[in-house]
Structure 1
Amino acid sequence: MFFFMLSFFFSCILIFITIKWKILSKSKKPPLPPSPFSWPIVGNLPEVYINKPAFKWIDGVVKKLKTNIACIRLGRVHVMVVVSPELAREFLHKHDTVFVSRPITMATEYSSRGFLTMGVSPWGEQWKKMRRIVTHELLSPNRLRWLLNKRNEETDNLVYYIFKQCNNPDGSVINLRVPLQHYSVNVIRKMTFNRRFFGEGGENGGPGFEEEDHIHALHSVLSHMYAFWISDYVPWLRSLDIDGHEEIVRNSMGVFGRYHDPIIEERMKQWKDGKKQEPEDLLDIMISLKDESGNPLLSIDEIKAQCSEFLFGVDGPPAAAEWTMAEMINQPEILKKAIEEIDKVVGKDRLVQESDVPQLNYLKACAREAFRLHPHAPYNLPHVSLTDAEVGGYFIPKGSHILLSRIGLGQNPAVWEEPLKFKPGRHLGENGSSKVELTEPNLRFITFSTGKRGCIGSALGTLLTVMALARLIQGFTWSVPPNEEKIDLSASKELILAKPLHAHARPRCHEAMYPITP
């Protein structure tokens, strides 16, 4: 009897332990992704603050850990850095609704006038409202067709400016960064405000002081938007403005207000007074939108904020075009193929038009390769998890920031053969005839992202990139400047060319082909 009771007792204990173990195993969370050593409370904020630019330290950590996803703790925030297309698709395709929000940062708060816009606003009703308006009313295919003439004017102005710079029969050395950057911004100004300049402009159709001031403010805000500033992770430090970054962003947005607000306020007055009844640009569309009750759908602050945000998306196309031209000039055989394609598709009796873009397959492959190899930013715009989640067998806590590494994806040797070489042909398929698009839904690299928070302006970004390249290549013969052997392809800490692209240009077409007025 004693032996029987003892056996029964131990059997009960064993059953209890087994049941308890199964319950615990079911409730046990999967592990966080691999992480570097982090300090108590502050996490890896000291390393991010000391190592500039921060993305190089972060990408170095990912490589050191030999992982496809790493967890960097900044204060109480878990920042997940992803370099695998498979994991990237899990985040932005499979679990898109979970990772649909954006972080709140000092710079995005200023740039969006308190999160009134679409691009950087956290998940919520305001974001849904602005996304609906931008998608269906402002950047829809029909609206882009409506604004075609304004884009054409600026594309002509780009050619005019370069042509004027070639002020002798043998051509001249051109700083291509200036016209490419201003071309993209001028297109957005034209589409939004129906004007290319805020002032009188400069000589030969180039920018004036106001435009240079405006674009300097633009890049200043962009450089601070998601730049790992400590106060974005330890909010109580914001009032101290340790590095003076808040003052820089505030002053830069003041420049936007100085140039934008008078135009917007005057235009609203014209509509109110009945002096304007037909829309001519995106600003008119925003002012004229009505809700179900016939009241203005957008407030003046929402209009001002969205007008500014349109400009914050134009840094990618000029950077890609500059990198593409630099690589092509260094590899004349690639440039020759692009020229032959343009001559075959367009001919030599007219200038390239947007309607030609679908047929410029090789040129798009060149631009696509530049986006892959030379990203204009280290990461996509961050996503924030709305709930706890499990991705790739790892636990992703609520509130985590998700960063897809543009360099890690685009230069991943497991995905790309010879990843550090500029080879446009890799995008043309085995038979060399695959249809090429600049978007990359499989996230093997990033152009305009994807999912609910993907770039609504991807079609416009494609047009700006390809049209700039096509007109430059069609209109001019490009080569390395005299007394130089190669274009220096070193990248700056901002990932653009360390030195602005200076290239020798000579008019290639008959003089009658070039626009004659700015």
Structure 2
Amino acid sequence: MDNYATALWNSFIHQMSNVSSTFSTTFLRFSTTLVVMGFALYYLYKFLFVGKRNMQPGLPPFLVKPWPIVGSLPEMLRNKPTFRWIHKLMKDANSEIACIRFGNLHVIPVFSSEIAREFLKTQDAVFASRPDIISGHITTKGFLTTAISPMGDQWKKMRKVMVNEMLSPIRHRWLQDRRDKEADNLVRYVYNLCMSEGGLVDMRVASRQYCGNVTKQMFFSTRYFGKVKENGGPGFEEEEHINAVFTLLGHLFAFCVSDYIPMLRGLDLDGHEKVVKEALSVVEKYHDPIIDERIQQWKNGEKSDQENPNDLLDVLISLKDEKAEMLNHPEIFKKATEEIDRVVGKERLVEESDFPKLNYVKACIREAFRLHPIAAFNVPHVSLEDTTVVGYFIPKGSHVLISRYAVGRSPKVWEEPLKFKPERHLKEDGVSLTLTDADLRFFSFSTGLRGCKGIHLGSIMVFMLFARLLQCFSWSISPGNGPTIDLTEEEHSMFMAKPLVAVAKPRLPAHVYLVHLA
């Protein structure tokens, strides 16, 4: 028995030894295979992803290694003026194009005409906008002008004004006598210096005086804001004004810290904002009284001939007023009234049953809601869960605000979006009886699950209000408002800053009023 047990035990040990040997060999082979596969997958990953990513173009060379978050702003602050510092960096690097990161923004200096053509000609449309800078925002009251404004509706509108009204060939010829007059004055000024001061001429003063005077003549029909010197040169007021103007020009695109970290706006870490505001206050001290007086003259009817403006200020004021709706566009007003007369007549008052046939009247109302929504944003919608919209992640709890103002005035949707044009809403099958748009091209009432359930009632009320007032009365602008209605909005709302006051006169036979008002 003992021999049998011993033999059995030895047999077991032998088998386990074989198993252990086989396991070790298998494990070694498996481990080797894993290592080989690991290396293969690693190099495959590098080839397919890392290598591919490295083959993509990178940024231009950095002239200064950026710090986290702030980039190279510390170096910018230590090396004033910044433009000279950048030129030195470019010269030292012998580079025609480079990159400097200020905050999270990349600044790309270009020192080559060939490369510049690539930016400004080959890809002009791509680089056609302007940066949102604090000095530009302050001086233009929120980018209401054209030259330094970022791309957008306001820029397009003002560019059209500049091209068609301010800088057109007709205007250029019209203002030639103003330019000639100031050229004569420049000669006179220098001649006086020759006679009284031995011909010593400060060319900066002379050139700035001429440029400033030409501009003032074209815009304000005046040469001087204050008292002129005996030699015809600029007095204190002129010098203060023109110095402020050039201070503003010097601080545009002047590497302000808050231009690159917008959250710092208002802190004025480098004193940039203070200088701009002080210079602007000087300019406004001379400009605003003239502008305010001229606007009042137009409102009072002292100036009303838009065909014969006195200067460019008159042109701008008349253009500003021309954007007004309905009462400011008598041809539209007349067309809507004629439609009511044709459909309803003058022997009875318009009823709700007439609305399906009053397509132009409804189009006028829709256009008014498109251009002048009661609130800038729709009522907020909140996401109930994480989701993706047009390729973007929207996390749960997000507030979604739809801008009625922006949607209604989008140039991607509406041709001439700032123009009051009811015809854009007319369709072959008529105009909707509700103030909605199937494609959400403008918002009055909301839509979907949270859409207003009283939309039909609300629409009918608006139609009736407008149609009755239009049918029953002829309307004119109150003399106190001037020749046109001022549609300037309140600062904190979308309502008109000044309530609309108009003059009404009955336009239907007397018995129609008597029957319905008895």
1:224 to 251, 259, 265: 251
Q: Please say if 1:187 is aligned against 2:214.
A: yes
1:101 to 108, 113, 129: 129
In the other structure, the counterpart of 1:199 is 226
Q: Please say if 1:253 is aligned against 2:266.
A: no
1:264 to 287, 291, 296: 291
Opposite residue 42 of structure 1, the aligned amino acid is V
In the other structure, the counterpart of 1:21 is 47
How far did residue 193 of structure 1 move? Answer: 0.8
How far did residue 293 of structure 1 move? Answer: 4.1
Higher normalized contact order (CA 8 Å, seq sep 6+, divided by chain length):
1
Deviations 1:403-447 (A, max 9, x none): xxxxxxxxxxxxxxxxxxxxxxxxxxxxxxxxxxxxxxxxxxxxx
In the other structure, the counterpart of 1:134 is 162
Give the secondary-structure state (helix, strand or coil) at the position aligned to 1:172: coil
Opposite residue 86 of structure 1, the aligned amino acid is E
How far did residue 134 of structure 1 move? Answer: 0.7
2:49, 2:271 → 1: CA distance?
Answer: 52
Deviations 1:248-273 (A, max 9, x none): 21121111221111111111111222
Asked if the contact 2:257–2:270 (Cα under 8 Å) also holds between the matched residues in 1, the reply is no
Deviations 1:444-482 (A, max 9, x none): xxxxxxxxxxxxxxxxxxxxxxxxxxxxxxxxxxxxxxx
In the other structure, the counterpart of 2:310 is 280
Asked if the contact 1:70–1:82 (Cα under 8 Å) also holds between the matched residues in 2, the reply is yes
The aligned length equals 292
Q: Please say if 1:115 is aligned against 2:154.
A: no
2:288, 2:327 → 1: CA distance?
Answer: 21
Q: Please say if 1:167 is aligned against 2:199.
A: no
Cα 1:79–1:295, aligned 2, differ >3 Å: closer, same or farther? farther
1:78 to 89, 106, 113: 106
How far did residue 63 of structure 1 move? Answer: 1.6
Cα 1:207–1:75, aligned 2, differ >3 Å: closer, same or farther? same
2:325, 2:200 → 1: CA distance?
Answer: 58
1:49, 1:194 → 2: CA distance?
Answer: 43
1:296, 1:63 → 2: CA distance?
Answer: 59
Opposite residue 236 of structure 1, the aligned amino acid is M
Asked if the contact 1:288–1:296 (Cα under 8 Å) also holds between the matched residues in 2, the reply is no
Give the secondary-structure state (helix, strand or coil) at the position aligned to 2:265: helix
1:154, 1:124 → 2: CA distance?
Answer: 36
Deviations 1:283-320 (A, max 9, x none): 111111223847889xxxxxxxxxxxxxxxxxxxxxxx
2:131, 2:83 → 1: CA distance?
Answer: 17
1:240, 1:19 → 2: CA distance?
Answer: 48
1:47 to 56, 75, 79: 75
How far did residue 93 of structure 1 move? Answer: 1.0
How far did residue 213 of structure 1 move? Answer: 1.1
1:291 to 289, 303, 323: 323
2:57 to 26, 30, 42: 30
Opposite residue 85 of structure 1, the aligned amino acid is S
In the other structure, the counterpart of 2:97 is 69
Asked if the contact 2:220–2:311 (Cα under 8 Å) also holds between the matched residues in 1, the reply is yes
How far did residue 184 of structure 1 move? Answer: 0.5
In the other structure, the counterpart of 2:360 is none
Cα 1:249–1:296, aligned 2, differ >3 Å: closer, same or farther? farther
Alignment of 1:373-388 (within 5 A): none
Cα 1:75–1:153, aligned 2, differ >3 Å: closer, same or farther? same
2:328, 2:112 → 1: CA distance?
Answer: 45
Give the secondary-structure state (helix, strand or coil) at the position aligned to 2:126: coil
How far did residue 234 of structure 1 move? Answer: 2.0
1:15, 1:37 → 2: CA distance?
Answer: 34
Task: Tell me which moved more, 177-186 or 242-251.
Answer: 242-251
Asked if the contact 1:231–1:237 (Cα under 8 Å) also holds between the matched residues in 2, the reply is yes
Asked if the contact 2:136–2:148 (Cα under 8 Å) also holds between the matched residues in 1, the reply is yes
Alignment of 1:381-400 (within 5 A): none
2:57, 2:168 → 1: CA distance?
Answer: 42
In the other structure, the counterpart of 2:84 is 56
In the other structure, the counterpart of 2:439 is none
How far did residue 23 of structure 1 move? Answer: 6.3
2:105, 2:42 → 1: CA distance?
Answer: 38
Task: Tell me which moved more, 274-283 or 180-189.
Answer: 274-283
How far did residue 239 of structure 1 move? Answer: 2.5
Opposite residue 46 of structure 1, the aligned amino acid is P
1:184, 1:146 → 2: CA distance?
Answer: 18
How far did residue 103 of structure 1 move? Answer: 1.4
2:253, 2:265 → 1: CA distance?
Answer: 15
2:43, 2:248 → 1: CA distance?
Answer: 59
1:296, 1:249 → 2: CA distance?
Answer: 37
1:212 to 215, 219, 239: 239
How far did residue 139 of structure 1 move? Answer: 1.0
2:88, 2:273 → 1: CA distance?
Answer: 28
Deviations 1:32-66 (A, max 9, x none): 10112222222211111111111111111112222
Asked if the contact 2:190–2:199 (Cα under 8 Å) also holds between the matched residues in 1, the reply is no
How far did residue 123 of structure 1 move? Answer: 1.1
How far did residue 152 of structure 1 move? Answer: 0.5
Opposite residue 57 of structure 1, the aligned amino acid is W
1:296, 1:215 → 2: CA distance?
Answer: 38
Using the size of structure 1 for normalisation, the TM-score is 0.52
In percent, how many aligned pairs have the same letter? 47
Cα 1:32–1:285, aligned 2, differ >3 Å: closer, same or farther? same
Unaligned stretches of 5+ in structure 2?
1-31, 330-518
Asked if the contact 1:287–1:296 (Cα under 8 Å) also holds between the matched residues in 2, the reply is no
Opposite residue 279 of structure 1, the aligned amino acid is P
Give the secondary-structure state (helix, strand or coil) at the position aligned to 1:73: strand
1:156, 1:98 → 2: CA distance?
Answer: 44
Give the secondary-structure state (helix, strand or coil) at the position aligned to 1:268: helix
Deviations 1:205-259 (A, max 9, x none): 2111111110121122122221112122122333322333322211211112211
Cα 1:295–1:192, aligned 2, differ >3 Å: closer, same or farther? farther
Q: Please say if 1:89 is aligned against 2:117.
A: yes
1:47, 1:18 → 2: CA distance?
Answer: 42
1:249, 1:294 → 2: CA distance?
Answer: 40
2:103, 2:41 → 1: CA distance?
Answer: 43
Using the size of structure 2 for normalisation, the TM-score is 0.52
Cα 1:27–1:244, aligned 2, differ >3 Å: closer, same or farther? closer
